[in-house]
């Protein structure tokens, strides 16, 4: 049942609901990436009072670079895999959901790295 004469599975039609949910989740992922970028700007405000001798600029740079590169890669990869899933008629909504998870995880990683680059307030005393 469901197999053609050649023994392969018959192609199923692309489900509009699946594609609609995937596109909606992708828009959410885009918005979340923008919010994560704005959040990193707010987190990095803590580095304004740092002098070059007190902060670790390498950690701060990593705290910026990892989330931005990861978010862009997740969004591009998610879009590519959504198109592939639509072409192969498989589940497409899982890919933007994975992008959302990557964006959230790398935001917190970036915030942690930025915070690690700033010494505790005791150095001001």
- Give residue-wise pLDDT tens across range 30-46: 999 999 999 988 888 87
pLDDT band at 107 (very low <50, low <70, confident <90, very high): very high
State the pLDDT at residue 78. 96
State the pLDDT at residue 65. 92
Over range 13-20, report the average pLDDT. 80
pLDDT band at 1 (very low <50, low <70, confident <90, very high): very low
* CA 104 to each of CA 15, 38, 64: distance values in angstroms, whole numbers, following the listed order: 28, 13, 14
For the chain, the first-to-last Cα distance in angstroms comes to 77
């Amino acid at each position: 049942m469901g197999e053609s004469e050649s023994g392969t599975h018959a192609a199923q039609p692309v489900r509009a609901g699946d594609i609609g949910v995937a596109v909606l989740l992708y828009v959410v992922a885009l918005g979340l990436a923008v919010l994560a970028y704005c959040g990193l700007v707010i987190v990095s405000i803590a580095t304004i009072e740092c002098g070059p001798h007190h902060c670790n600029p390498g950690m701060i740079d990593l705290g910026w670079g990892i989330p931005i590169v990861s978010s862009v890669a997740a969004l591009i990869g998610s879009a590519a895999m959504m198109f592939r899933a639509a072409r192969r008629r498989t589940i497409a909504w899982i890919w933007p959901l994975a992008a959302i998870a990557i964006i959230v995880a790398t935001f917190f990683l970036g915030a942690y790295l930025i915070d690690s680059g700033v010494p505790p307030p005791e150095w001001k005393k």
